[in-house]
Chains A and B, each alone.
Chain A
Amino acid sequence: MNMKERLQELQEAARRQIQESGQPEKLNDVRVAFLGKKGELTSILKSMKDVAPEDRPKVGQMVNEVRSQIEEMLEECKTRLDAKMREEKMKAEYIDVTLPAKKSRIGHRHPNTIALEEVERIFIGMGYEVVEGPEVEYADYNFTKLNIPEDHPARDEQDTFFINDSILLRSQTSPVQARTMEQGKLPIRMIAPGRVFRSDEVDATHSPSFHQIEGLVIDRNITFADLKGTLQEFARELFGPETKTKFRPHHFPFTEPSAEVDVSCFKCGGEGCRFCKGSGWIEILGCGMVHPNVLRMCGIDPEEYTGFAFGVGLERIALLKYEIDDMRLLYENDARFLKQF
């Protein structure tokens, strides 16, 4: 057998053993057996002294070729075996992905707050500042400065809780209008969310304590059309881009002209359903152009400035939007209720 044949045989033997190895450790044995210090290829190299000197470079080249072939085969096989092993390992590591998640039990915001933050987001985006006012309030701000004089029937209509003759629990967020105007910084674009109180017995649709969001814009050249446009924008943002608004004349002492606003029912789109009691419309707020008497009482010249105001019932929006059928749920704080939001 000449050297070339020996080397070919050797390479063939290596290929066989590599193919049969099956495991990375065995592959190492193959490496040692052929390429190691006492390996077969090494021993061939050692026997180079028996080769004729003129043949040596050629044989040397052949040996190196075989070595690199074997190494390549080893490498290729190792990559394949590693991949196979990983595959098998992963197969064994199978998990049931339908087992329950591990959650950190994050708490939930109150539906009122969710609705409020939504409203705040809309108006802040339109350049409104959020303002707070006192819940225990002077009758003067709750009534007088809102064009509701001493003997006005509206003082009774609102079923106000009184502390004494001059101090009461505000029955509306509108006093914040007067407080903001009195500060004298113009123009004004503000909303004032907060708690209000009326002596209604607790039932599914009434609560002696609830929330309103007041809105007020005072500037030069503010029009009823601006009021309509603003609230239309608001309704679309809050209830969806298809929402339509309907402005109906109404009466509030502190605005003139005044309106109540209905939005097209966001459940049925206006066709009539149980939410809108078949009418296709849902009443959501009251609004109007700030009465010149109010402007005057708050130190603003009605000849120069006009403005609009609106008031939204927060609970009303929350109940409607989240389909809550009993207002009492909002104040019971049952964890099973709260975690739905």
Chain B
Amino acid sequence: MNTSLSWIKMYVPELDATAQEYTDAMTLSGTKVEGFEILDKDLSRIVIGQIRKIERHPDADKLLICQVDVGSEVIQIVTGAPNVKEGQKVPVVLDGGKVAGGHDGKKTPGGITIRNGKLRGVESFGMMCSIEELGSSREMYPEAPEEGIYIFPEDAVVGENAVHALGLDDTVIEYEITSNRVDCYGVLGIAREAAATFNKKFVPPVVKKTGNGEDVNDYIKVTVKDPDLCPRYTARVVKNVKIGPSPKWMQRCLAANGIRPINNLVDITNYVMEEYGQPMHAYDLDTIAGREIIVRRAVDGEKFVTLDGQERSVDSSVLMICDGEKAVGIAGIMGGENSMITDDVRTVLFESANFNGPNIRLSAKKIGLRTDASGKFEKGLDPNNASAAIDRACQLMEELGAGEVVGGMVDVCQETRQPSRVKLEPEKINALLGTDLSTEEMLGYLARVELTLDEATGEIVAPTFRQDIHCLVDLAEEVARFYGYDRIPMTLPTGEATTGKLPFKLRIETIARDIAEYCGFSEGMTYSFESPKVFEKLLLPEDSPLRQAIVISNPLGEDYSIMRTTTLNGMLTSLATNYNRRNKDVRLYEMGNVYLPKALPLTELPDERTMFTLGMYGKGDFFEMKGVLEEFFEKIGMKEKPEYRPGSRPFLHPGRQASVFYKGKPVAFLGEVHPEVADTYGIGEKAYIAVVDIKDVLEFAGFAHKYTGIARYPAVTRDLSMLVPKSVTAGQIEAVLIQRGGKILESYELFDIYEGAQIMQGFKSMAYSLVFRHKEKTLEESEITGVMNKILNGLESLGITLRS
């Protein structure tokens, strides 16, 4: 919300602070100032001048030479403006003065300095300016000409400060109002806060009784059919309306708030809306059929043309304002074209109502039309404010001579809000804040914002506009705000000591990160939601359980519409981004969740599983990826050998993938990305992926270590060079080695594998080095030979022969 500082000062006349001081103090007391604009910061030496004489420029058709009286002297100014006439009063920048920008409305930071000079050989001593050059616009100064110099009214005083005369010697403050402070959506609310902050007197407008001897009930009848959506509806009538411009001070106020001045009637409703935070509406009473207002829900499918000329479709959840025959407005959102005020209006019906906030919010959303009014109503306004605002509007109508106010007010009120009462317990407030304030001091702070003590009950009574005061902590905040958050001491919690810790799962994840990084993988992060198209990209069959994804009902777009069931797409997309940018040898990992629904549509929360995903292209192969997994498993205490079974995941190369089992349970998978999938993503090299389900490894992980003693007896090494049928895997051979090698086989290592010319068709050459050692003695040759023979027998049954 934007408001000029001068408007605030109308209610806090003693307020004396620079824009910066005001900003800092208001922000610290809870009315956050987002920024401010000093309207005349780039304006200087600008006075009101009067054009005495105009002559043509001898050498330029479009230039005029004006003699301008600026009070102290008459100066010559050459201008190209099309609208100047003798006798006009205009803003004049004197030599060395500054304007804010050009007449195209573009502002120049720091302003533009105007100097005496010659225009086509004729001397010019200053410049006459347009409203744009003064840093404003026709939006805010509707009386300014479309093109050319701003013209002051005749009563302007020559030689006076033009910036002041225009009201540009002001500062517009932009506030961020929190949703609980509905009262601060009105200037009065902010002014009350300003007065409290600076501890100055708050002087709200005095609203006098208005109205002639007539009775408004003779003009209009109001029926509220849906009181749940309309707790209060007040109406007043003004007759003999004279439409004309509103006074300059009102225009200035509205302009600073970003509202374009239109005419006295519209400006008054807007002014009161801004001042009280209570939206108002004005109808041409002569367009109201049957001279009655009926507030009712719309009929499903009802069509209505709002005053912006748009046809809107409404349903029965939307509240309408109707006359005896038809709808004339969408309650709290926008009036209808059919009851719009025109310049010929004679009798005006003012409406100041209170509508159900959530309903207005939902209706505005449904219709797709959010207005200043609905933005205020949806916060839930104080019904008591409705009558205050309508009386204020009538007062302004009377004061500005805009019409004759009819006596009385129609007030259909279902709900009179009572002030809330909260027992003041100063010791509890001190205990909550960590302060030691006296009751008197607290009462002083509370009184600044009209929170007063009922001495009979010991309760603080909050005015109805303070809808945020319900319980003691709310009072504590008020006290803290005006005592000053910055004055509250800083302490650390005492009491029972607690142990700081990272849970086991997160410790395992930290180790995973460390291992991945040691192995050259950098951490990436990708979104949790993605496009349903990824199923096709990953070649998932129709019946794949991974297609059972949770759908977001209001996604940002299809590309972000489902919750991922696999981390593959994120990883492949990241690899592709890197490949596309010609980054070489990229290795990435991610620690992120997948969301597996227990049933669809979702009735309970899904299983969220953290996946440790590794991906790479460039240097490295399947076995290097396998190595990363094993390093991780070993580091988290999974010291047994994992089992690798060929897998059948559709997005991986059918011959180059494995499911990883630990103690018989699946814990991970890895493989080369299917060439077609790699193609789809645009990764032009072999890419490898590994995925560990962190929850699956948790049951095996642990940090227990046990020392087993360093062997003291010598080891004996035997090499096995074998001719192995191609179909036999290293896993099968190693199973034989382990099983038959028994306790004395300390370790084994594959040191050579070869297929090719020298090897028989259908076979491969494999060579293992076996290390034997006994824990308690030196091995004898016969023992080793015995075990070797057992191993050889076992290998023979796999069709393996020794190479000579």
**B431-A250 in contact (CB<8A):** no
List the one stretch of B120-128, B432-440, B718-726 in contact with chain A: B432-440
Q: Which of A107, A108, A125, A247 has the most CB of B within 10 A?
A: A107
Bound Cα distance A292, B425 (Å): 15
B602: Cβ under 8 A from any A Cβ: yes
Asked whether A289 and B473 contact (CB < 8 A) given A131-B503, A195-B528, A338-B522, the answer is yes
How many B residues have CB within 8 A of the partner chain? Answer: 90
Q: A229: which of B432, B492, B555 is its contact (CB, 8 Å)?
A: B492
A197: Cβ under 8 A from any B Cβ: yes
**B601-A164 in contact (CB<8A):** yes
Asked whether A199 and B556 contact (CB < 8 A) given A106-B520, A129-B500, A249-B30, the answer is yes
Per-residue CB proximity of A286-306 to B under 8 Å, as 1/0? Answer: 000101100000000000001
**B431-A223 in contact (CB<8A):** yes
**B500-A232 in contact (CB<8A):** no
A222: Cβ under 8 A from any B Cβ: yes
**A226-B502 in contact (CB<8A):** no
Interchain nearest-CB distance for A92 vs B (Å): 35
B485: Cβ under 8 A from any A Cβ: yes
B390: Cβ under 8 A from any A Cβ: no
Bound Cα distance A217, B492 (Å): 11
Q: A335: which of B489, B501, B522 is its contact (CB, 8 Å)?
A: B522
**B432-A335 in contact (CB<8A):** no
Per-residue CB proximity of A124-140 to B under 8 Å, as 1/0? Answer: 11111111101111100
**B27-A248 in contact (CB<8A):** yes
List the one stretch of A12-20, A21-29, A72-80, A255-263 in contact with chain B: A255-263
**B587-A136 in contact (CB<8A):** no
The residue on A at minimum CB distance from B519 is A107
Bound Cα distance A226, B488 (Å): 10
Q: B556: which of A208, A224, A246, A335 is its contact (CB, 8 Å)?
A: A208
A214: Cβ under 8 A from any B Cβ: no
List the one stretch of B173-181, B287-295, B459-467, B735-743 in contact with chain A: B173-181
Per-residue CB proximity of B534-574 to A under 8 Å, as 1/0? Answer: 00000000000000001111111000100100000000001
**A330-B555 in contact (CB<8A):** no
B373: Cβ under 8 A from any A Cβ: no
Residue numbers in B under 8 Å from A266 (CB-CB): none
**B527-A107 in contact (CB<8A):** no
A220: Cβ under 8 A from any B Cβ: yes
B337: Cβ under 8 A from any A Cβ: no
B480: Cβ under 8 A from any A Cβ: yes
A105: Cβ under 8 A from any B Cβ: yes
Per-residue CB proximity of B355-392 to A under 8 Å, as 1/0? Answer: 00110010001000000000000110000000000000
- A:224-253 near B, CB below 8 Å: 224-226, 228-230, 232-233, 246-251, 253
Residue numbers in B under 8 Å from A110 (CB-CB): 522-525
Per-residue CB proximity of B588-622 to A under 8 Å, as 1/0? Answer: 11000101000001100110100000000000000
Interchain nearest-CB distance for A15 vs B (Å): 52
List the one stretch of A30-38, A41-49, A50-58, A148-156 in contact with chain B: A148-156
Bound Cα distance A123, B595 (Å): 29
B710: Cβ under 8 A from any A Cβ: no
B506: Cβ under 8 A from any A Cβ: yes
**A331-B527 in contact (CB<8A):** yes
- B:511-533 near A, CB below 8 Å: 513, 516-529
**A153-B357 in contact (CB<8A):** yes
Residue numbers in A under 8 Å from B490 (CB-CB): 225, 228-229, 232
B411: Cβ under 8 A from any A Cβ: no
A180: Cβ under 8 A from any B Cβ: no
**A129-B498 in contact (CB<8A):** yes
**A225-B489 in contact (CB<8A):** yes
Residue numbers in B under 8 Å from A105 (CB-CB): 520
**B577-A334 in contact (CB<8A):** yes
Q: B525: which of A112, A157, A187, A247 is its contact (CB, 8 Å)?
A: A112
**B527-A209 in contact (CB<8A):** yes
B804: Cβ under 8 A from any A Cβ: no
The residue on A at minimum CB distance from B589 is A107
Per-residue CB proximity of B165-208 to A under 8 Å, as 1/0? Answer: 00000000000001111000000000000000000000000000
A201: Cβ under 8 A from any B Cβ: yes
Bound Cα distance A217, B554 (Å): 34
Chain A interface category by residue count: 35 or more
Residue numbers in B under 8 Å from A10 (CB-CB): none
Interchain nearest-CB distance for B97 vs A (Å): 27
Interchain nearest-CB distance for A307 vs B (Å): 9
The residue on B at minimum CB distance from A112 is B525
Interchain nearest-CB distance for B721 vs A (Å): 32
A332: Cβ under 8 A from any B Cβ: yes
Residue numbers in B under 8 Å from A126 (CB-CB): 492, 500
A169: Cβ under 8 A from any B Cβ: yes
A205: Cβ under 8 A from any B Cβ: no
Bound Cα distance A232, B493 (Å): 13
Residue numbers in B under 8 Å from A289 (CB-CB): 432, 473, 476
Bound Cα distance A135, B32 (Å): 32
B477: Cβ under 8 A from any A Cβ: yes
A163: Cβ under 8 A from any B Cβ: yes
A183: Cβ under 8 A from any B Cβ: no
The residue on B at minimum CB distance from A223 is B434
Interchain nearest-CB distance for B732 vs A (Å): 33
Residue numbers in B under 8 Å from A145 (CB-CB): none
Interchain nearest-CB distance for B1 vs A (Å): 15
The residue on B at minimum CB distance from A257 is B477
Bound Cα distance A138, B606 (Å): 11
Residue numbers in A under 8 Å from B516 (CB-CB): 107
List the one stretch of B153-161, B578-586, B785-793 in contact with chain A: B578-586
**A128-B498 in contact (CB<8A):** yes
B28: Cβ under 8 A from any A Cβ: yes
The residue on B at minimum CB distance from A221 is B495
Q: B602: which of A163, A209, A232 is its contact (CB, 8 Å)?
A: A163
**B552-A224 in contact (CB<8A):** no
Q: Which of B474, B495, B497 has the most CB of A within 10 A?
A: B495
**A223-B589 in contact (CB<8A):** no
B471: Cβ under 8 A from any A Cβ: yes
Per-residue CB proximity of A325-336 to B under 8 Å, as 1/0? Answer: 000001111111
Bound Cα distance A108, B476 (Å): 47
The residue on A at minimum CB distance from B574 is A333
A162: Cβ under 8 A from any B Cβ: yes
B491: Cβ under 8 A from any A Cβ: yes
B303: Cβ under 8 A from any A Cβ: no
Bound Cα distance A137, B550 (Å): 13
The residue on A at minimum CB distance from B430 is A223
Asked whether A257 and B480 contact (CB < 8 A) given A136-B606, A225-B435, A226-B434, the answer is yes
Residue numbers in A under 8 Å from B493 (CB-CB): 189, 217, 219, 222, 226, 229-230
Bound Cα distance A250, B480 (Å): 12
Asked whether A151 and B498 contact (CB < 8 A) given A167-B605, A330-B525, the answer is no
User: Which B residues are closer than 8 A to A by beta carbons?
Assistant: 27-30, 32, 178-181, 357-358, 361, 365, 378-379, 431-435, 468, 471-474, 476-477, 480-481, 485-486, 488-503, 505-506, 510, 513, 516-529, 550-556, 560, 563, 574, 577-578, 581, 583, 586-589, 593, 595, 601-602, 605-606, 608
Besides the contacts A223-B434, A225-B491, A226-B434, what 15 more A-B pairs have beta carbons closer than 8 Å? A110-B522, A113-B523, A126-B492, A134-B608, A187-B498, A208-B527, A224-B434, A228-B485, A229-B492, A232-B490, A257-B476, A289-B476, A306-B431, A336-B581, A339-B522
Closest 9 CB pairs of A and B: A225-B434, A223-B434, A249-B30, A333-B524, A151-B358, A251-B178, A257-B477, A124-B500, A229-B490
List 10 A-B pairs, Cβ < 8 Å.
A107-B518, A135-B593, A217-B493, A220-B495, A222-B493, A224-B432, A256-B473, A257-B477, A335-B583, A335-B588
User: Which A residues are closer than 8 A to B by beta carbons?
Assistant: 104-110, 112-113, 117, 120, 123-132, 134-138, 151, 153-154, 156-157, 161-164, 167, 169, 187, 189, 195, 197, 199, 201, 208-209, 217, 219-226, 228-230, 232-233, 246-251, 253, 256-260, 289, 291-292, 306, 330-336, 338-339
